Amino acid sequence: MRTRWNFQAIGSGSVLVAVALAALIALLALGYATGWDATWRAIGVTPLKPHFFDMHAVTDHAACFAQGYNAYEVNSCDPLKFNYPPIWLQLGYLGINGLDSAWLSILAAFIAFLVVTTLLKGRSAFNGVLASAAILSPPVMMGVERGNIDLVVFSLVGSAALAFKDTKFRRAFGASLVVLVAVFLKLYPVFCVALVAKFNRRTLFFAITLIIGSLIYFYSIFDYLPIIRANTPTAFMLSYGYKVIFLGLDHLRAEAGREALRLADTWLPIALVFVVLALGIATALYFASNREPFCIITISTPGTAFLFGSGIYCGTYLLGTNFIYRLMFLLLCIPQIQDWMKSNTENNNLTVTISYFLQVFVLLTLWSNGNSNGHSTFVATAQLLNWGMFFGLVSILALNCIRYSQLSSNFSSFSSRSIRP
């Protein structure tokens, strides 16, 4: 009995796994045939040596620390300064060293893929194709090529989104603890506090737990914070953030033989941030008061993941500069965007239209930020898209803050009237 091939019966999870396997086989084949540097450059990734460079930054420093060297200063054991929280250095006492970099990087990438596949499964094959394009984008692949620690942080934040439930305090507390572990490892997951935009008792409990735990941790490593900041490079290449476009302008002027304007060190970048924030909030207020609100975040795992991803993107954008592998957190926004794309009674036409635009905009942002010659090339288009993404996510976050605040206020008002004698 013959069976017909039904593309619609294939789910997004199957597509993601199939594409990942095909990409892995192609990557290995090209790597052995043409060399790894040429292979990575062919897909828009600027490779560094040794392979899994960022994981080496952890394992090599941890091994040196176990021998008594100060990882945060230049030393004879490792010429590079360490720029991660000191908790990573404890790996040296477990016998971890540079020889472990390869398997640790592969494990981190594999777990991150499992998490994002779990978040994205249960959707159509077409949505799986779109999500695959995002996963295979240069910023995400750059994180894989370098074995970057953000893959570990991504797995923790994504797992917290899967664990969180709006109806259960235990799940909310567990999710906050998972995110706190991510904060201990890399600090910036504190921006997951954006979950409070979906205002209710559980999200407020999550936010308070995360803030208190983070403040205690920041206080405990307070002496290291300025050192970590100073040891982290500020660069125009392969970066996003509110200062990057100004740093890139100086680079372009230098290439033309002109003097740098150094606008990144003036009030102008901060002023531009406030203008974009004001425009985003004004847009949210307009739609909240004059039209049917759009892109309302659902009380579900995709909604939680969206708030984590958008919170981290907007929060890190305000840090000034970040290497583009951190754009992998935009993957957390995709499940909610794809749910908005469904035409049903819960999604008005405006939401559907905007969600299609957001899906395309996320892909453009991810793919425009990669460049095989990234250490010498400044891509202005990518920075304009990054600013557009910042504005869009700020607008959606502000709109949901307003929406859920209104619902909470209306509920409180109704409750007070219902118990009045």
What is the spatial distance between Cα 251 and Cα 262, in angstroms, rounded to a whole number?
10
- Quote the CA–CA distance of 153 and 48 in Å, as a whole number: 21
Q: Half-sphere exposure of residue 202, counting CA atoms within 13 Å on the CB side?
A: 17
What pLDDT does residue 224 have? 95
**The tokens of 392 are what?**
């869009």
What's residue 343's pLDDT? 58
Q: Dihedral, CA atoms, 352, 358, 359, 362, nearest 10 degrees? A: -170
- At residue 385's C-alpha, the angle toward residues 108 and 389, to 5°, is 70
Per-residue model confidence (pLDDT) at position 418: 44
pLDDT for res 288: 84
- What is the per-residue DSSP string for 80-143? SPP-S-GGGGGGGGGT--GGGHHHHHHHHHHHHHHHHHHHH-SSBHHHHHHHHHHHTSHHHHHH
Q: Where are the alpha helices (DSSP H) in 299-379?
A: 301-317, 334-340, 349-368
- Residue 107 CA, distance from chain mean position: 19
Instruction: Give the model's pLDDT for residue 413.
Output: 46
What is the domain partition of the chain in residue ranges? 11-408
Q: Mean pLDDT of residues grouped by 10 in the chain (421 residues)?
A: 54 91 92 89 90 95 95 90 95 94 96 96 92 96 96 98 87 94 97 90 92 96 94 90 94 88 93 97 88 80 96 96 96 95 65 90 94 81 95 94 69 45 46
- Tell me the C-alpha distance between 199 and 204, whole Å: 7
Cα separation, 313 vs 191, in Å, equals 9
- Predicted local distance difference test score (pLDDT) of residue 104: 97
Give the pLDDT of residue 393.
96
pLDDT the model gives residue 294: 80
* pTM, rounded to two decimals: 0.92
Q: How many CB atoms lie within 10 A of CB 420?
A: 6
Strands (E), 122-280: 239-240
